[in-house]
Structure 1
């Protein structure tokens, strides 16, 4: 095997030392040429091979560093995405809490409007009942207010004034209608925000949406039926914005007949 290698190498040296005939397109040969040294070529080839190996090692090292850098970048990106999602969730939660607080504040205003509407209705009913009673033993506040309006009016023709009960009825009706208009507008605004009342009056008690503040013994309704809505409850989408505070019926226990 060694002899074959030496013969092959000898032929290779002979070929290198021979003067090849240049093709026609190369033109005239140069006037002077350096003497070919095969040993120098082998040395340069060996050095080049060593350099290629070194560059290969450097390339692999660079590739490894690049892979590690990509892994770090990917991990940082994942962490950044997680932090971004957490930040968005916190922001949405804060916005939702603020919306919930605002809606509950609006429910407080709506409760006041409900009470005002109920008050005006009761006053109108009381005035209607009072105006039918004769004689009137004592004037109410609203009657005194009517007397004050009639007595301090700047109208020149007092004969055109309405009778006092009718005047008070007109005033109370106007006030009730104004409050009712505001109440309905607020209810529509809440409905657009997906806030709707919880049906409670006359319904079976539901512990998920209602809170019983009392029980009343009744024989004319079914047990655990809501007979009075103390505070109206509201739903916000599929969530309970505020529980309904109710009074439920309780059946009266009867002694067994002997």
Structure 2
């Protein structure tokens, strides 16, 4: 395992170099002092002791720097691990948020679909009432008595206006009728509930939609409710 690199402050490094150079110079003067009087030798001995102290202090400083370097490396490793954990936690939160949004959109779509289907069922009932009111009186007596006929007409008009407002509400939710009359049967969008034979000379091909028993609808261009239809079929001579 490589030893960590120790970086000293430039001023501290310059001071240590100067102290070391001065120590070497004092050591050289000490070697030249052999044979001199005792007082000069004693002074050089003190210089030698100062050099040993300097080297010892440098060793202690080096150890402290190594210790600080190891502590810094450990702190950096802990910060990196914490950053990785934080990033993974953020990614999990992002995935959970996307999943929650998808679930909310799915629930909203299902709720809106059920609501629109309920409106379509109500529309079918109103349409049946309007169609029944538009039929002429079935008896001669009913035609002679205008009162009930006028009441039925006013009631039919109210149903027609209600039906119109309901159609406007459906249109505001981007619901459109599915055009089927005269089209060829599309099993994906239409359900056959009856067949009518066409004449042998008829130019209408088999499977052509003749009547609409129950209207189909689209929502945002996608199928909301299938249409129940009656299709044509040429008669065969036996």
TM-score category (smaller protein):
0.7 to 0.9
Structure 1 unmatched runs, 5+: 1-8, 18-34, 131-135, 144-162
**CA 165–204 in structure 1, closer or farther in 2 if over 3 Å, else same:** farther
How far residue 167 of structure 1 moved from its aligned partner, in angstroms, is 2.9
How far residue 239 of structure 1 moved from its aligned partner, in angstroms, is 1.6
> CA separation in 2, counterparts of 1:181 and 1:197?
18
How far residue 230 of structure 1 moved from its aligned partner, in angstroms, is 1.4
> CA separation in 1, counterparts of 2:60 and 2:144?
122
Which residue of structure 2 lines up, in the alignment, with residue 194 of structure 1?
174
Q: What per-residue deviation string (whole Å, max 9, x for no partner) do you get for residues 14-54 of structure 1?
A: 5568xxxxxxxxxxxxxxxxx87222121111111111111
Q: Does 1:246 align with 2:226?
A: no
> CA separation in 1, counterparts of 2:157 and 2:20?
121
Q: Does 1:100 align with 2:113?
A: yes
Q: Secondary structure at the match of 1:72?
A: helix
How far residue 13 of structure 1 moved from its aligned partner, in angstroms, is 1.4
Q: Secondary structure at the match of 1:56?
A: helix
> CA separation in 1, counterparts of 2:189 and 2:154?
35
Q: Does 1:173 align with 2:156?
A: no
Structure 2 unmatched runs, 5+: 1-18, 28-45
How far residue 214 of structure 1 moved from its aligned partner, in angstroms, is 2.5
> CA separation in 1, counterparts of 2:144 and 2:177?
39
Q: TM-score under structure 2 normalisation? A: 0.75
Which residue of structure 2 lines up, in the alignment, with residue 150 of structure 1?
none
> CA separation in 2, counterparts of 1:16 and 1:120?
127
Q: TM-score under structure 1 normalisation? A: 0.70
> CA separation in 2, counterparts of 1:233 and 1:165?
39
Which residue of structure 2 lines up, in the alignment, with residue 113 of structure 1?
126
Instruction: Report how many aligned residue pairs link the two structures.
Output: 198
Which residue of structure 1 lines up, in the alignment, with residue 36 of structure 2?
none
Q: Secondary structure at the match of 2:205?
A: coil
**CA 52–14 in structure 1, closer or farther in 2 if over 3 Å, else same:** closer
> CA separation in 2, counterparts of 1:63 and 1:254?
94
Which residue of structure 2 lines up, in the alignment, with residue 26 of structure 1?
none
Q: What per-residue deviation string (whole Å, max 9, x for no partner) do you get for residues 92-149 of structure 1?
A: 1111111111110111100000100111011xx235xx4xxxxx5xx4xxx4xxxxxx
> CA separation in 1, counterparts of 2:21 and 2:84?
54
Q: Secondary structure at the match of 2:137?
A: helix
